[in-house]
Amino acid sequence: MKRVIYHLSLAILLTIGVIGGGATMKVSSPKIAPGESLRVQLVAEGENVEFPKIKSIAGFPIERKHLTSKVESRYINGDFTLENRKILEMEIFPDKNFTIPSYTVAIDGKKYKTKPRKIEVSKRASGGGSHGFSIEMKSDKRKLYVGEPAIITVDVSEPSNIPISRIEYQPPEFKDFFVKSLGGEKQFRRGEQTVHEMRYLLVPQKEGKIEIPPAKIKVGIRDINNPVDPFGIFGNTIKWYSVASSALGMDISPIPKNTDIVGRYKIESDVDRSEVDANKPVNYTLKITGEGSLEDIEDPSFNIPGVTVYSDDAQVETKIVDGKPLGSYIKKYVFISDRDFTIPPVEFREFDYKDGKSKILHSQAHSIRVKGGSVAKAPAGRVETPKRRPETSTSAEKRENIRKRNETGPTAVETPAVKENILKDDAYYKAKEYREKSAMLWWYIAGAFLCGAISALLLLKIAKSVKWGASAKKKRKNYTAQEAFKILYPHMDDDPEVEALVRDMYEHGSGKKKSDIDQEKLNRLASRYDPENGDGMVK
């Protein structure tokens, strides 16, 4: 009964409206709940209509604007007339009581004014247009430093007694923040509500007062009162409603210049050997762990004369333990030389956001003795550690590259506010699939008949394509020198030909040898030992 009364009242409000001259203002409801959307329509009848340019209503930004035109025919007392109607519809998400101002609409050279309209925003209106849905966004901290991590939680509450077809979730736009999803969506019960929880790790990149815009959902509800066919081919009518959270204000304080990392960490380094034969690899591991986020750290680079350095992509991870973000950064390097050398210590200038103090962290130096090589010792090297700098277009591009490096799968979040259909109702998609299959039934029958008529040709083509595909798989890829080096250097002791090629690549990379490397030999040997080409066994 309440549902019927609600729909009748909504229809009356949208139909009657407030009339001012030749222009009409209509609203979806005079009373709404916080976070619920309000639709405002300006309706005008005439040939030439000019609506005012509206960017916001009473200070609330317009989230959606749509202009439509309708032509209606009327037959009154034997006279047939056509009326042109234009409708400007706008959608906003108010969070407090306000008054829609008067607007001036020009119709066929005359100006008409609408009357102001008061709108009440109250929790008592909950259950109307929002149908009991709500969305809340909160942060574990609102005041923080540049580089200090915060955990943002978005909760979407869904009533259990509503025939939901689909929920479309639009995450907020985290501008001026590095953002990473923490584990994807989680569901749990809270009383009579089903809660969908999304958590994000945010690291501010810029100081100042920053407002995170609202998170939003668009809810599709099946109208079970509409008649449907007995077989469910046409399904139910879907009505859509929008709900938004409140915006979130963040106060970001600056950090000292030349700061590398923000948090409370320890740094370690180790090598797998301190004595090595000439031109043999030394594996070096750099590890940083502690409280904070290392998601936006930039990789240190070594510059040691007479030493060739290779490195893998860094492994960066953030876990939430007892409500605290714990960061881990691990990066591996390979050093190769024909003379003694020293791996210099890596230094980071740390800012501890808990006590507001800075200090220097550094790893230990490692002296490497090279046997059977040059008597001369490599000159002292240096480590270049990029400093944290103010946000620019260049640093924003680097931050995007770091984000891509840290992506681990589908849980990774795109900063742009793109609609994600992550909250789904399986029954809706099953019904949709059934409707699509029913509509395509005759096409399926015709297709099956056609397939049977040409099955012999298809089988012949498939046999040829399988043979071609098998031969294509055997075709070797072209490896770069760095790719081949990573694959072959662990097998230098297994094959003299591999050892000779690795030495050639090293001398070529260090500039001692000017002739080109035999690409055919490189591809053949790299393909033989590449574990991606089979079961990892040498061919």
Give the tens place of pLDDT for each residue, 366-409. 999 999 877 667 676 667 665 543 443 334 454 455 445 444 43
Q: Is the pLDDT of residue 529 over 70?
A: yes
Is the per-residue pLDDT at 7 higher than 90? no
Distances from the Cα of 355 to the Cα of 38, 293, 351, angstroms:
46, 17, 9
pLDDT-based confidence at residue 451 (cuts at 50, 70, 90): low
Distance of CA 210 to the CA centre of its chain: 20
Query: pTM value?
Result: 0.54
Q: Which fold has domain 261-387?
A: Immunoglobulin-like (2.60.40)
Q: Supply the pLDDT for residue 365.
A: 94
- Supply the pLDDT for residue 400: 52
Q: How far apart are CA 138 and CA 17, in angstroms?
A: 37
> What tens digit of pLDDT does each residue of 465-481 get?
544 444 444 455 788 88
CA distance 290 to 4: 58
pLDDT in tens, 139-180: 999 999 999 999 999 999 888 777 777 788 889 889 999 998
Mean pLDDT computed over every residue of the chain? 76
**How far is the C-alpha of 205 from the C-alpha of 221, rounded, in Å?**
40
Judge whether 196 and 137 are in contact, CB under 8 Å. no
Q: What is the predicted pLDDT for the residue at 66?
A: 85
Task: Enumerate the domain spans of the chain.
Answer: 2-125, 134-254+410-428, 261-387, 440-474, 481-533
- Say yes or no: domain 2-125 is CATH 1.10.357: no
31-84 pLDDT, tens per residue? 887 777 788 999 988 888 999 999 899 988 888 888 888 776 665 666 656 678
User: Is residue 254 very low, low, confident or very high in pLDDT (cuts 50, 70, 90)?
Assistant: very high
**Whether residue 455 has pLDDT greater than 90:** no
Calpha distance 81→194 (Å, rounded): 53
* CATH number listed for the domain at residues 134-254+410-428: 2.60.40
Sign of CA dihedral 444, 448, 454, 457: positive
Q: Check pLDDT > 90 for residue 255.
A: yes
